[in-house]
Structure formats: C-alpha cells, structure tokens
Amino acid sequence: MLEVRNLSVGIATPSGPLALVEEVDFRLEAGRTLGIVGESGSGKSMLALALMGLLPPAARASGSIRLEGDELIGLPEAALCRIRGKRIGMIFQEPMTALNPAMTVGEQIAEGVQWHENLGRRAARARALDLLQRVGIPEAARRLDDYPHQMSGGQRQRVGIAIALACRPRLLIADEPTTALDVTVQAQILDLLRELVAEMGMGLILISHDLGVIAETADDTLVMYAGMPVETGSSAAIFARPAHPYTRGLFLAMPGHAGVPAGAGQRLQTIPGSVPEPGRRPSGCRFADRCAYVIEACRAAVPPWEPLPGGQQARCIRLEELP
Amino acid sequence: MSGPAAMPSGTGAPLLVAEGLARHHPLARPHPFAERPVFKAVDGVDLTLERGEIFGVVGESGCGKSTLARLLMALEPATAGRVLFEGEDLLSLSPAALRRRRRGFQMVFQDPYGSLDPRLSVARIVAEPLRLLADGAEGRSRRDRVSESLQAVGLQASDARKYPHEFSGGQRQRIAIARALITRPSLIVADEPVSALDVSVQAQVLNLLLDLQESHGLTHLLISHNLAVVEQVCQRLAVMYLGRFVETGPTAELFKAPAHPYTRLLLEAVPSPDPARRRSRRPIADPAPAPAGGCPFQPRCPLAVARCRSEAPELRTIAPGRQVACHQV
C-alpha cells in the first residue's frame, strides 16, 4: 500500500546541502503497523514530515513515496492538500497544540469531512458524533460542542485521532502520539490505535523514541540512527535478537528490558558519546564513532543492508563477527 | 556493584523525616456564599530517608510529586506538617538560618536546557550555590571546588570555561548535578532528572547517580513517572496518587507483588519492550478527580466497595517495611 524508496531529506545551507534523512526504504501493507524508533537527532520526525508532505520550505525530499501506486514526491501543494487528511491521516504529539482552541471539537472533526467530501454541515456533524463515540469519549453527543480546554489530555488525543480518521484514510501516521501522556492514558490510546487498525484495515506508521511503545504496537520495526535506518524486520525478531550494535546498545541501556540486569543499584550498559548532529556525522557507518566493534572498513563507506533470517536486515558489515 | 537491594547502610538517625506534610491551595468560590474549595496538592505525607539510600517517588502528572519535592527542599511553605533534616525542623528556621542549612540538601531539575543560564559559563553556574550561601570559598579554592565537582560527574576541569550551549543534553544534566554537589550536600532531590534525555544518555546519568551514592555516600530522593527507571536505581519506593502515598516499600518486593490496585494498574500500563510479553490489558478507567470523601482512587478502582466511598484508607503496615493504603488488601 505504501512503498518508500531511497527517501532522503536535505536542506540547503550557506555551506552547501545538508542531509537530514538518508536512504530510507520500507513497505507497509494495509492492516499492519510499522514502528519507527530512534533517539532525538535520528531524523524520525523529519521522516514523518516528509511522508506527510509537510516539510519546512527550506527542506527538500528526494526518492520515492508511493501511496497505493501514486507518487507523492514532487506533487504540487494543491494536489497534496487533496491527499493529506483524506488518504493520509495524521496524529501529532501534543494534543493541546495540535487542536484549535477556538473551535469546538465537533467542528474540528467535521472540518476535514466538509472540505474533502463536500458533506453538508448536518451530515458532517453526524460523522463527527460517530467518530467521537468510536474513539471512546463518553457522552459524545454532549461533548461535541466542547472546546479542547474542557477535555483532559487523553481525551484531547482521542479527539486528535477522531480528526485523523474523519475521512477514513488508508494510511495513518502518528508521530509520538503518547509521549505527552501518562502511562495509564498511554495504554488506553495504544489499545485504541491497535483496535482501529485491525477494524478499519489501515496502515499505521507509529513513530516513537519509546522502545516499549513500539514493541507493544508495531508488527514491524525500523530503527533509525543519525538520519539513516540501521536495522529493520519484524518487531518480534528485532526485540528478541537485535543485530546492529546500535540497536543492541539501545536495548541494553533501557531499564526494564529483558537483557538488562534488574534490581536496584545495578549499573546499566551505556553507549558512550551522543548522537552526532547532521553536519558532524561520520561519512561511513554513522555509528562508527560510538561503536565498540568498529574497524577501519566501517569508516570507508555506508554499510550495505545485510540480510538475516526471517527478513530481518541490518546495516553492519561485522554482523557475523559480533559476539 | 552494590549488593542486592542493600538496606540503607546508615544505621544511625535518619537523614530526613517528613511528618504529616501537606500543601493545600484554596480555590475560587463557585458562588459568593459557597464554601471555599481546596485543592490538596500534597495531603498528609510521612516519609523517612535513611542515610545513603536512593528513595523513589513515582506517580503520574498531577499526583503532587513535584510539590512534595519542593516542600522537602523548603522551597514552598507547607500548609501542615514538619520536615526534619538531620533532626532540625526546616520549616521553623529563620530565612537566614534556612539559607545556611541549604548547603546540606540540593536539587536537580528535569530540564537541563531550562535550568542552566545560557549566559553564564559553566564555572559560574556550578559555583553559584557557593556565592548564594556566602560560603567564603574565594578565588583559587572556589576554582578547585568547581573542578572537583565537574570531575565527580565525569566532566573535565577545562569544561568550566565553556557555556551550556556547547554541551549535549546528558552533559548539561551532569553540569546541573555538579552544581548540586558543590556545597557537598548529604541529600540530593532529583525531580525527573532523566525524563528529558534519550535512552542511551539516560543510562549514563542513572549510573552517575548510583556512582555518587557509592563514592560520596549521598542520599537521593528520585522523583519520576518512569517505573522502570525507579526499579533500576531505588532501594525503596513510594507510589503517590492525588497527594497521598498509597503504597511504600522495598522496590523489589513492591514490583514483585504490588498490593495497591493503583500500583498494579501502573505496572500493567507500562509498555513492555518485549513483544513476546505483549498482553491484553484489562480496560483502564479514565483518570478522575478526587471524590469529596473516601479513597481518592475509588472512582477508578476495580475493587471499590461501599466502605471505600465513605472512609479514606490510612497507610498501614502489611509486611516489614511495606505499607498500603487500601481497605481491600
């Protein structure tokens, strides 16, 4: 349904073009969830904006994004406007700032339907009511005329999901949808997203820095580091047998992960240093400067994808020699 | 490596004791003749910190954990209760005496971007508590203290000349910890010290807290919403809900057999980084404001009975060192 090939995002700077996201490839089938995980500076949010066609004016995407066969890269803004909200639904991190404080939630849900489907006010309002009920807002008929400030953070994110679903999109992109929420509310929202994907047969791209959220929700996982994917495969495989040294390091640094010695006072394993900024990324393997297994060849060129059993892949030339 | 959940090493008197600590905010009257409603940010918290331990307070946003930290640091006046630091009641001290006392307890905040003044050099940021405390450390001795502090958190003495923007988030949090260490405190209260940091950097900072506990015998109070973080570093733990402790105890036991329904709900809600353990959760009730009477968790509680609606449960001991505030346990 969605096929992304060799997608890169760069911006022009006085000292030449600067790559923010490089060489992203993935496919997403209807009814499945792809998790994109990475730390800050990994390029995951820039990738999300590129998929939505919402890049800042200075940034440029190249490569190919095909949604149900239609190429999105290079499409004029007017054409993108007909796709965004209609065929691609978007859910953002901060439900308070993503909503318009001066419009009722009912109007905000109905807005897209009226625009994209030329539905009348009445029919759009009926659709909004349906959606509000579907995303689990109690007493939906009464809450339709509420403003965002009258709702809790979790309810606002439910409204955000209702807006994203309003035109029954084929593809849903959620960028850190639960990061601003408490764990108990996060659990509710993730459950809701899972149900909706199964019920409506959408494809979901879930972007998060939280490995737990990805493991719980995504069928497949793409691990990003410093603007580039370093590992991809089914979530079950990646979380059971992470292959790339970065993925392994990330898992072992995370309290609560299976491989981490549990118990108060146990030291965590760390990855030395921090994620390099776009202008300071090493030219070969982006992880070379922080990797414990680095050799000369790692710095010579970007490592190709190495296949692993079960469709898992990692961009590392030393997979076979790793302990 | 320290021993398995070693009990607090200090045998003597506890470092800090809070008794019946409360912070109430009066709200606007809904109409002129109504009784004035009161928001109870912290509502009757008892807490004992033993020397050398890392004590965790977990809870969701709005549970009062940050207010509790500020009360313990005497940064905010309490509506009721006492805070005894090394036996001395902080809330009854004169402002000058309190200021002198502050060298014994320091705070680390959540956001390493917001808590460091971008116009000051690292040396001035780290030395600032000395200046405010009129410590008397001048010139050379102050420079030595700054280098000593920076080295204790894994930075270089030469970093003192740099400015905050030259550092990454994790390094900034180290600077904030160095600033807290410079007065050689015995207690550090850290309010969400790693929640703004990436996973790989978070691990570095958590290890630093453990190192400081070991090498300097520091006592930490760690406030966090992240249960996995608390499990990793804290010997003892309190779970806070709407201004009260609902469960306290040794971390390992509390995680193995959570007693309070809210603790169980929290533990169930944490997403597991292991897809094999992906489970179907029980539906979770929406957060609800505290009811006028009875147990504050009662509107969300799957076990609530009539008694929970009429009578607020007190914390009571269910096993050595473990307390729960629930009628149904």
Q: Which residues of B touch A257 (CB under 8 A)?
A: 273-274
- What is A2-87+169-321's CATH topology? Rossmann fold (3.40.50)
Over residues A239-244, mean pLDDT: 93
d(CA A167, CA A117): 8
Over residues B69-76, mean pLDDT: 94
Q: Which residues of A touch B252 (CB under 8 A)?
A: 263-264
- Contact flag B198-A39 (C-beta cutoff 8 Å): yes
Q: Which amino acid is located at B258 in the chain?
A: P
Distance of CA A207 to the CA centre of its chain: 2
d(CA B252, CA B231): 7
Place of tokens 């030339």: A317
- Contact flag B271-A152 (C-beta cutoff 8 Å): no
Q: How many CB atoms lie within 10 A of CB B34?
A: 9
Over residues B210-226, mean pLDDT: 92
Q: Which residues of A touch B155 (CB under 8 A)?
A: none
Q: How many CA atoms does the CB half-sphere of B324 hold within 13 Å?
A: 18
Give the model's pLDDT for residue B199. Answer: 84
- Contact flag A268-B232 (C-beta cutoff 8 Å): yes
Between positions 256 and 275 of A, the ones with CB within 8 A of B are 256-258, 260, 262-271, 274-275
Q: Which amino acid is located at B151 in the chain?
A: Q
Taking only the tens place, the pLDDT of each residue in A93-141 is 887 788 999 999 999 999 988 989 888 899 999 999 999 998 888 889 9
Tokens coding A272: 């030395």
Q: Look at A53-57, A218-222, A294-298, B5-9 and tell me which has the smallest mean pLDDT.
A: B5-9
Give the model's pLDDT for residue B10. Answer: 46
Give the model's pLDDT for residue A105. Answer: 94
Provide the number of CB pairs (under 8 Å) joining chain A to chain B.
152
Query: Looking at the whole model, is its pTM more than 0.90?
Result: no
Give the model's pLDDT for residue B3. Answer: 36
- Contact flag A212-B271 (C-beta cutoff 8 Å): yes
The residue ranges of every structural domain in chain B are 16-241
Tokens coding B74: 């005497």
- Pairing mode, if any, of strands B54-58 and B219-224? parallel
Q: ipTM beyond 0.90?
A: no
Taking only the tens place, the pLDDT of each residue in B241-262 is 999 999 999 999 999 999 999 9
d(CA B260, CA B324): 6
d(CA A216, CA A133): 24
In the predicted structure, residue B9 carries a pLDDT above the cut 60: no
Nearest CA in chain A to B229: A255
Look up the CATH architecture of domain B16-241: 3-Layer(aba) Sandwich (3.40)
B133 or A137, which is more confident? A137
% of chain B surpassing 70 pLDDT: 92
How far A181 CA sits from the closest chain B CA (Å)? 9
Among B111, B198, B213, the residue to mutate for chain A (most A Cβ within 10 A):
B198
Tokens coding A33: 């969830």
- Contact flag A255-B232 (C-beta cutoff 8 Å): yes
Q: Specify whether the CB–CB gap between B5 and A263 falls below 8 A.
A: yes
How far A3 CA sits from the closest chain B CA (Å)? 25
The residue ranges of every structural domain in chain A are 2-87+169-321, 102-164
d(CA B112, CA B52): 25
- Closest CB to B199 among A217, A236, A253: A253
Give the model's pLDDT for residue A244. Answer: 96
Q: Which amino acid is located at B114 in the chain?
A: G
How far B61 CA sits from the closest chain A CA (Å)? 7
Give the model's pLDDT for residue A280. Answer: 87
How far A77 CA sits from the closest chain B CA (Å)? 35
d(CA B89, CA B17): 9
Give the model's pLDDT for residue B280. Answer: 57
- Closest CB to B275 among A188, A235, A265: A235
- Contact flag A239-B275 (C-beta cutoff 8 Å): yes
- Contact flag A264-B231 (C-beta cutoff 8 Å): yes
Report chain A's mean pLDDT, rounded to a whole number. Answer: 90
Q: Specify whether the CB–CB gap between A314 and A231 falls below 8 A.
A: yes
pLDDT tier for residue B5 given thresholds of 50, 70 and 90: very low
Among A45, A158, A260, A266, the residue to mutate for chain B (most B Cβ within 10 A):
A266
- Closest CB to A187 among B226, B234, B281: B281
Nearest CA in chain B to A268: B203
Place of tokens 């007017």: A78
- Contact flag B225-A183 (C-beta cutoff 8 Å): yes
Give the model's pLDDT for residue B8. Answer: 45
d(CA B220, CA B225): 16
Taking only the tens place, the pLDDT of each residue in A149-202 is 998 888 899 999 999 999 889 999 999 998 888 888 888 889 889 999 999 999
Q: Which amino acid is located at B318 in the chain?
A: I
- Contact flag A267-B235 (C-beta cutoff 8 Å): no
Q: Specify whether the CB–CB gap between A228 and A286 falls below 8 A.
A: yes
- Closest CB to B271 among A216, A264, A269: A216
Q: Look at A264-273, A297-306, B68-77 and tell me which has the smallest mean pLDDT.
A: A264-273
How far B245 CA sits from the closest chain A CA (Å)? 18
Tokens coding A170: 């084929």
Nearest CA in chain A to B278: A216
Q: Which residues of A63-81 are buried (b: 16+ CB within 10 A; e: fewer)?
A: bebebeeeebbeeeeeeee
Cβ partners under 8 Å of residue B212, min gap 6: B152, B153, B177, B181, B188, B218, B220
Nearest CA in chain B to A212: B273
- Closest CB to B229 among A236, A255, A275: A255
- Contact flag A39-B232 (C-beta cutoff 8 Å): no
Over residues B119-145, mean pLDDT: 83
% of chain A surpassing 70 pLDDT: 100
Q: Phi and psi of A60, rounded to 5°?
A: -130, 135
Size of chain A in residues: 323
% of chain A surpassing 90 pLDDT: 58
Our CA dihedral for A229, A233, A237, A243, rounded to 10 degrees, sits at -40
Give the model's pLDDT for residue B284. Answer: 73
In the predicted structure, residue B67 carries a pLDDT above the cut 70: yes
Over residues B35-51, mean pLDDT: 92
Q: Which residues of B touch A275 (CB under 8 A)?
A: 198
Tokens coding B59: 């809870």
